Structure 1
Amino acid sequence: MKSPVLLIVATLTAISAWATDVAGTVKSVKGHAHIERGNARIDVAIGTHLQRQDRLVSGPASSVGVTLSDSTLLTAGPNSTIELSQYAFDRSTRAGHMDTTVRRGTLAVVSGQLAKSQPNQVVFRTSTVTLGVRGTEFIIDVDASTKSTP
């Protein structure tokens, strides 16, 4: 018979590992959107978790609002493709990094704790520009006709 203490430690370790994979949570959805995670395609609903390296894709007349673990607010507009290339945030030290690519469409951003404590660690990219975050609110609009690499 396994020790109850070992079972609790194993459970907490599994929860901790799961929690570190969750970068954010979908808080609002209008229309249709999905997440591409590896080879999987996950329909987005309120409460869906976003992980680093996920690609968020919104359909026509759609939008998706996501709150990241550092309280950054991301809102993807219609026909948008957003990749959370890298993301890590430690709530206790407020250390981490974020690297997000807007492939097409629009992304409205309200910066969270990471951009306030470590602005040099927050980067947003498009096919033509890399933005370092120095402000708290901004919008990125990538023209659908702009060439972008997958």
Structure 2
Amino acid sequence: MPIYAGQVVTAGQLTRLQPRTYKAVATGTLSGAVTAADVPGCSITLTTQAAGAIITAAAVFDFDPASALSGLSSGRLVIDGAGVGEYAVYQSAGASADRQSTPQSYRETIAAAGTHTIKLQATLVSGMALNLYTTLLVTVYEVV
């Protein structure tokens, strides 16, 4: 919604013009094998005031193989219980010293106003761990 010359702007409209940023850091580790497991501590609950809010998110998954392994491990952003966007993917070269922080970025639209939960989930092969340096940074942009 545009703001017109001479229009009286409300406090609510001004509040929605300012982006809001949230950060979550893992509070515990995950060990494989797991499928679509919530990353401990990497969950943000926020409230949008208007329908059509845009969020951008940066996720970093700290993959740490405990032993030589094969197969893919991945992490993903989840909004209100639904996985969105691309996966952050890690495939070990087979050595246990192949620790890697794997990033992924997201831009999503939240259709409805209200309370929303944004979190990270991971799928890990046996022998893989997801460590404490896993983080989620979310910025919310709302329409006036």
Q: Same fold (TM over 0.5)?
A: no
Name the structure where strand makes up a greater proportion of residues: 2
TM-score in terms of structure 1 length: 0.22
Name the structure where helix makes up a greater proportion of residues: 1
TM-score in terms of structure 2 length: 0.23
Q: Which is bigger in relative contact order (C-alpha 8 A, separation at least 6)?
A: 2
